[in-house]
Amino acid sequence: MSDPFKLVEKAKSLGYACEVYYVERWEYNLAKEKQYHSSNVKERGYGVRVFKDGKVGFAFSTELSDEILDRAVSVLKVSETDQNNEIPPTSKPSLLQLNRREDLVEPAKETLKSLEELQEKVNVVGIYASATRVKVGVVNTEGLDVSEIRSSAYAGVTANYKDKVLVTPEIYESRSGRSFKEIQLEELKDTVVEKVNITKSRVKLQEKPKRVILDTKAISELFHPLLSYSVNGENVFRKRSPLDLGQTYGKITVVDNPRDERSELSRSFDGEGQATSQKVLMERGVFRGVLTNWYWSKKMGVTNSASAVRSYMSVPSIGTSLVQIFCDEKQDVEDNDLVVDQVQGVHTSNWDTGEFGVVAPVAWISRKGEKVGVREVVLSGDFRTLLKGIRGETGSRKRVWSVESADLVIEGLTVVT
């Protein structure tokens, strides 16, 4: 059996509500480290959920057959009853244009070749280019039938400075989009060269800076994981979020926007086939809304934000798409501001309290308009202090993976040197 509609109809005839989530994925990867690597991956999979009387069962396979339905039913029979276990309703999303309909193999090769030019200017540890095209669909017994094709492209570089006596920290820089045409390769290469040069001669801070500036990459590495956990509806419901709904934390506005066609994380519908829309999470500092999937929207008694994320091998969880950050106040970079570009150790954060302590291997201070690299910097604080300490934004807006923002100027964080 290869037709999800037949499986759904069979489940219905047996008295079950049924959902089939399916994925057909093609991925092409190129890399050059000590030698060249390439891979061409094709994958197909199906995730099946069945519902009855407040119980739910799940099974997955790379082949769609009666067996996968039988396994899902077996799981349902031993699951606990929860009246919020209901199959999501039918939905008719407005489809975005997420497939660029162009060849991705040759552009990936051209991208890798272009990135190799960096070897003349810096010590290149690795260069990478990849392209993906994936068809995602959801059908269920409620009449839901949605599918779309999403393409994405990625280019990345790992580089540092190296001579007989000095090896600097590795700088990792990447750009992504729906196609390689949307990636500004020259800007990527210029950025790598600039940051490697900054780290050539790093100094130890003699005095602690009053202000810390997180650039967009550091925001994606530090701010985004803390935010994602904090606005997850399940965590808010279980009192595990460091933020309280309705309370004010600083001044920024944060929007989860799955409708931006430039972002490879955008989607017309979520992992349960529900139509997506923008969701205001924070409005001028006020924590306004949470992200949910269908189950947690029922459990919390709130409108579903359609933020279910999953693979065919998993049940739906809750996740962000493109997080857009806005701040009305503008700031200039001042002397002795500490600019943080990369962080390490976010995974050690206390997610329930928002407390974190991270190393900043790539950072610099501003001195009379010059960027001076610094070393041995540790940044610590908690998410509420971070939010309340944002004084404004500086520089142009950029998109790095899951975040679109200008750099954020922050006071109140602890800097250990």
pLDDT in tens, 356-410: 999 999 999 988 889 999 998 999 999 999 999 999 999 999 999 899 999 999 9
Tens-digit pLDDT profile for residues 170-206: 999 999 999 999 999 999 999 999 999 999 989 998 8
Neighbour tally for 270: CB within 10 Å: 30
Clarify whether residues 219 and 272 are in a common domain: no
> 105 and 117 share a domain?
yes
* 183 and 45 belong to one structural domain: yes
Q: Per-residue pLDDT for 1 more than 60?
A: no
> What does the pLDDT average to over 78-90?
97
Say if residue 162 is in the same domain as residue 204.
no
Question: What is the helix (H) or strand (E) element at residue 12, kind and residue range?
Answer: helix 4-13
Residues of the domain holding 154:
4-195
> How many Cα neighbours within 13 Å face the side chain of 283?
7
Say if residue 154 is in the same domain as residue 41: yes
CA atoms in the 13 A half-sphere facing the CB of 315: 16
Same domain, 149 and 253: no
The sign of the dihedral angle between the CA atoms of 224, 170, 111, 190 is positive
For position 19, which CATH number holds? Answer: 3.30.2290.10
Q: Are residue 22 and residue 167 in the same domain, yes or no?
A: yes
User: Domain check: are 297 and 337 in the same one?
Assistant: no
- Count of residues in the chain: 417
At a CB cut-off of 8 Å and minimum separation 6, what does 188 contact? 115, 155, 157, 173, 174, 175
* Dihedral-angle region of residue 118 (phi above 0 means left; psi in -120 to 50 means alpha; beta otherwise): alpha
Q: In terms of domains, do 185 and 207 share one?
A: no
Per-residue confidence (pLDDT) for residue 69, from 0 to 100: 97
Q: Please indicate, yes or no, whether residues 16 and 59 belong to a single structural domain of this protein.
A: yes
79 and 12 in a single domain? The answer is: yes
Q: How far is CA 281 from CA 10, 238, 252, 270, 314, in A?
A: 41, 18, 10, 18, 26
Taking residue 25's Cβ as centre, other Cβ atoms within 10 Å add up to: 17
Q: How many domains does the chain have?
A: 3
pLDDT tens digits along 328-363: 999 999 999 999 999 999 999 999 999 999 999 999
As a whole number of angstroms, the distance between CA 115 and CA 245 comes to 46
Distance CA 222, CA 380 (A): 11
pTM: 0.95
Do 168 and 30 share a domain, yes or no? yes
